């Protein structure tokens, strides 16, 4: 899973990136300090792996991973190549989802590229640039399709009708993700590679006091939430400064500091959970003496395709999956006890995987 962290210059996105990845991307109080996208590979926090490691005493423990990409800030006109627009648009095409960092605090010491703090305006600035880029792609595809209609094939007429609806939607200043797209039109959409179709999570970067004492009275966040609700997106309040402070501590000190602040989860933990939900992802587990490991799959994945995540031979030669849910295994104490109670099941090719399934795949090549 690859998440692109975007936002206008100086909204705190590189500070947040540094904190959650500890990758050390440069952070400075001026636009475009992040010119090439910085990439951080982060292990997905999963306490289930720690519990299984104590049970199996494996040679290694492997978490699922998320790739965070800190993408350079953009300004108005990015879709026309202004600022770092072309680089911004090319890098954002490569991510699965967008974490849009929006500044929701006042601080006269931190320059805002627009001269004032206005989260709705900031979101619309980036959204419009992405919409303009999508509009150009959609119009080019529509021109091509109209020419192909001369062949008389019905499929081109159907495609043109959809593209006309898409163009009108984008021209209205609406992202593609708010357009109703039928199953029949999905193949067309995939070929166009629309930027505004990517799922978005708005990270509302608030001041330390607001984050710790409650954001109910933060008008910036309230306005951002109203905008997000209108487009079916979600807002996650976060303090990049607090996350930066937590990231700079030793592991033992982190817990104490978070307890002192009254924080039960780090920003990374919350961001990972929200991102998994955003992309419809779950994790299944494998456990044994060689390795305890988490594997990321799309919710609704069947057993053979889940097996293919480990190795293509597992999917090709799939026979069955021996499955016990994590909660059942922990309640029983051992795999043998879970089997005795009938909680280890033998599942076939049509079995749909669940989050927390612990699986042993049987296959033959």
Q: What are 290-307's pLDDT values in tens digits?
A: 999 999 999 999 999 999
Residue 22 has pLDDT above 80, yes or no: no
What is the predicted pLDDT for the residue at 346? 97
pLDDT band at 324; cut points 50, 70, 90: very high
Q: Is the pLDDT reported for residue 30 higher than 50?
A: no
Buried b (16+ CB within 10 A) or exposed e, 200-210: bbbbbbbbeeb
User: In the predicted model, is pLDDT for residue 137 greater than 50?
Assistant: yes
**How is 211-277 classified by DSSP, letter by letter?**
HHH-STT-HHHHHHHHHHHHTT-EEEEE-HHHHHHHHTS-HHHHHHHHHHHT-SS-HHHHHHHHHHH
Q: Coil, helix or strand for 2?
A: strand
Per residue in 76-120, pLDDT tens?
A: 555 555 544 556 677 788 899 999 999 998 877 666 666 678 999
Per-residue pLDDT band at 65 (split at 50, 70, 90):
confident
Q: Render pLDDT for 154-212 as a digit per residue (tens, 0 to 9).
A: 888 999 999 999 999 999 999 999 999 988 888 888 888 898 999 999 999 999 888 88
- Quote the pLDDT of residue 334: 94
For range 308-328, the mean pLDDT: 96
What is the spatial distance between Cα 270 and Cα 282, in angstroms, rounded to a whole number?
15
Which pLDDT band, with edges at 50, 70 and 90, does 37 fall under? low
- 187 is written with which tokens? 């193949």
d(CA 177, CA 161) in angstroms, rounded, equals 18
Provide the pLDDT confidence category of residue 317 given band limits of 50, 70 and 90: very high
Q: What is the pLDDT of residue 52?
A: 97
For range 255-278, the mean pLDDT: 87
322 φ/ψ angles, rounded to the nearest 5 degrees:
-95, 115
DSSP states of 267-300: HHHHHHHHHHHHHTEEEEEEESSSEEEEEEEETT
pLDDT band for position 308 (cuts 50, 70, 90): very high
Instruction: Quote the pLDDT of residue 93.
Output: 84
Q: Label residue 31 by pLDDT band (50, 70, 90).
A: very low
Please tell me the pTM assigned to this model.
0.82
Residue pair 105/11 in contact (Cβ under 8 Å)? The answer is: no
């Amino acid at each position: 899973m690859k998440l692109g962290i975007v936002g206008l210059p100086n909204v705190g996105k590189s500070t947040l990136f540094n904190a959650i990845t500890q990758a050390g991307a440069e952070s400075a109080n001026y636009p475009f300090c992040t010119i090439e996208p910085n990439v951080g590979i982060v292990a997905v926090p999963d306490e289930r792996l720690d519990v299984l490691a104590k049970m199996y005493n494996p040679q290694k423990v492997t978490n699922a991973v998320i790739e965070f990409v800190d993408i350079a800030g953009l300004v108005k006109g990015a879709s026309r190549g202004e600022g770092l627009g072309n680089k911004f648009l090319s890098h954002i095409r490569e991510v699965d989802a967008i974490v849009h960092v929006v500044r929701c605090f006042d601080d006269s010491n931190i320059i805002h590229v627009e001269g004032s703090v206005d989260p709705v305006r900031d979101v619309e600035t980036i959204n419009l640039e992405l919409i303009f880029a999508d509009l150009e792609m959609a119009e080019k595809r529509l021109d091509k399709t109209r020419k192909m209609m001369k062949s008389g094939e019905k499929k081109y007429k159907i495609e043109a009708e959809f593209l006309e609806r898409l163009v009108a939607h984008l021209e209205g200043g609406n992202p593609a993700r708010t357009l109703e797209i039928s199953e029949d039109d999905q193949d067309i959409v995939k070929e166009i590679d629309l930027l505004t179709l990517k799922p978005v999570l708005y990270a509302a970067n608030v001041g330390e006091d607001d984050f710790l004492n409650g954001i109910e009275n933060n008008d910036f966040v309230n306005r951002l939430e109203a905008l997000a609700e209108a487009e079916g997106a979600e807002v996650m309040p976060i303090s990049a400064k607090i996350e930066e402070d937590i990231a700079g501590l030793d592991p033992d000190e982190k817990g104490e500091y978070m307890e002192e602040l009254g924080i039960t989860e780090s920003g990374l933990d919350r961001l990972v959970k929200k991102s998994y939900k955003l992309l419809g992802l779950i994790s299944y587990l494998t456990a044994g003496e060689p390795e305890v490991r988490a594997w990321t799959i799309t919710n609704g994945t069947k057993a053979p395709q889940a097996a293919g995540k480990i190795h293509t031979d597992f999917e090709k030669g799939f026979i069955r999956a021996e499955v016990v849910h994590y909660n059942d295994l922990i309640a029983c104490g051992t795999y043998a006890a879970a089997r005795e109670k009938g909680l280890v099941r033998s599942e076939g090719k049509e079995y749909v995987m669940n989050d927390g399934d612990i699986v042993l795949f049987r296959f033959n090549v």
